[in-house]
Structure 1
Amino acid sequence: MENNNKETNEQVDIEMTIDVKNKELEELLDDYNEHKDAPHLTRLVNHIAISRVLVPALMNDDEQPVPCFIQNKNGELYMPIYTSKEQIPEEPKSPIIINMPFIAVADMATNPELNVTGIVINAFSGNLIFKKQLLEKIMRVEKAKREGDIKGVQLTEEQYHVLTRKQVEFTLLPKKLFDEGEKLMDEISDGKEEYMDQLYEDFYQEKRLYPYLEEEFSVMTMNLNENLRILRVDFPERYMEVPSCYRVYLVWDKEKEEGRYFTIEKTENSDERLLGEVVEEISHVDHGTAPVEGAELQTIVDLVMKEEVEA
């Protein structure tokens, strides 16, 4: 009788370890799968980073639990995780289910020794993939939150991001355009959002604080004629204060080998945006109130063409 009670208690304990409830997380997963945009991804990432999830595992030769993997048709390995026991398929049955903090899962998945491409969340229902690059960013942000502000700099984390945005959007990026010219235009055109995300992160002095995701950037390439190319780059909405840019337009004149850098800037008036320009001396030119978004490109083209005619 005593042994039976002990066995029953152990079964209850095991059941409790996998009795994870993530109703809000599952709603956020559904929302992101429906919209597939940066704001929904941001909300999802912020919530899952503080959640616990279930990880299928098996015992290795050393009697230690190791995670199971799923392989896709390209041979890439992913670590499956589930938001609740109801999401776990009955077949194939996993010998062990481990209740883990998501951050611990991310740490495992980014370990080079495992050689996995990322994790897959609720593989047999939502089937959402977080690749290794995104997991590494989530870990850096969470680590920064735990460690607090940058040592020796009397800034809050938010102030640091706002200051860095100003440096990147009004100094570092235009300077890179004027220094590298067509090379930068080609790199952005080819790499698109992934390249801009990495470039923006490279500009961050404190890499561990970099907060953005590739999905928060948008890149559009427009070849107006054989000589004139324009790139529209939209920036993340987070940490957008005055001064910062909703987007910029990089213009390259191949014949003249000349670049222009136009800005669509946030102002104190929420109903107005400023059309600006950073010139080669890294000084700012005010072109007045920006037109509605749909007319921005034509306005910038008109400015470029007008100066060509006057020249």
Structure 2
Amino acid sequence: MASHPFFSTFLFSLCILRSISGGNSATFTITNKCSNTIWPGILSNAGTDQLTTTGFALNSGESNTFSVPTSWSGRLWGRTLCSQDSTTGKFTCLTGDCGSSAVECAGGGAAPPATLAEFTLNGAGGLDFYDVSLVDGYNLPMTVVPEDGTGGNCTTTGCVVDLNAGCPSELKVTASDEGVACKSACEAFGDPQYCCSGAYATPDTCKPSSYSQFFKNACPKAYSYAYDDGTSTFTCASANYLITFCPSPSTSLKSSNGQYPVAVGVSASSRNTTPSFVVFGGSLAVAAAILILSAVFTPQEKNFV
């Protein structure tokens, strides 16, 4: 079917804009507003060269700015509670570990659970596609803010709420009796219904569960499950990006509403039964966005897997 002339002209104009504004790189600035040191990890997707750095320490209050090629596709996240063995020299992190023996990651992805920022720069139509994903769980609040970019969906996304304290007990990761991360239901139970795998590997069969709704209620702009495209993928042209961990103000989910949320309708004892699904309302614009994204990407590409 022929594309609409206006849509084709729009995409062509964005490509010209990217070319004119030019540059061969975007600028990423990663800032740590957490009270403790974190260790950002950065890895490129398959077929994309790794950046000059794949991991480093970032003390509380510090920032690190670096250039990223405009063709780059990959993800970044924060590692927490890291240490280096004084005998073997091996570097490990309790959350977000990338399987490397050093501070820099060497090909291994973020061990879930971890909050991920995902990017495909200069993708379809010359647009950057970016999101913050809780599909693999959560360990830190994070925002992505585009600067100097253009486009109707060029806006801040992320998760500013601390979910670790209020995480459902069957998903919670603890250290010294304190919540330090929150698993996804897929990671916790391995059920195809939660993992969008097997018979549930399409948007029609894989629906949001009450576990994913726990994440979505707290962080409405972040991916909560694999096909959460309509409200969670953002696009921008010719932008630089500010990635902030523990953006201020950083509130716990409990303090924001007076009580811990629960994954309504699904408990540890009933997790092997059919989960209670949440039906999202939607506008024509959201439906159109989902159709466009589905036409351009496979599910793996949309979620940068």
Q: TM-score, normalised by structure 2?
A: 0.22
Higher RCO (C-alpha 8 Å, min separation 6): 2
- Higher radius of gyration, 1 or 2: 1
